[in-house]
Amino acid sequence: MAAYLVVDTLLDNPELYEQYKLRAKPLVEQYGGEYLARGGALTPKETALWSPTRLVLVKFPDVATANRFYESPEYQEVLKISQQSARRTVVVLEGV
């Protein structure tokens, strides 16, 4: 069953975050991930629990692969750039 990495990002340093994006994309692809949405225009419809800022949606083959990607030493190194340049909420969501 597919899994989705859902990321909401508030950029504090957009220039530095560009470095994160450049380095994260090949790792996502290495783990079989496919970007379905990457910071496109948002039209919130209901926001009682959460008001998204900048969403990214990545599809992985399954939850195990999504978790292996996120927890990999290579991604954890790149993640440091994100942590210096943005605030994020990240969820792995099992799907179809």
CATH of the domain at 72: 3.30.70.100
Residue 46 lies in a domain: no
* Residue 33 covered by a domain: yes
Note down the domain range covering 30. 3-39+53-94
**Count of domains for the chain:** 1
**Domain-located, residue 12:** yes
Is 45 a domain residue? no
Beta-bridge mates of residue 75:
none
Q: Judge contact between 27 and 72, C-beta under 8 A.
A: yes
pLDDT in tens, 3-53: 999 999 999 999 999 999 999 999 999 999 999 999 999 999 999 999 999
pLDDT of 56-93, one tens digit each?
Answer: 999 999 999 999 999 999 999 999 999 999 999 999 99
Residue 44 lies in a domain: no
The whole-model pTM stands at 0.93
Query: Looking at residue 8, what is its pLDDT?
Result: 98
Is 16 within the bounds of a domain?
yes
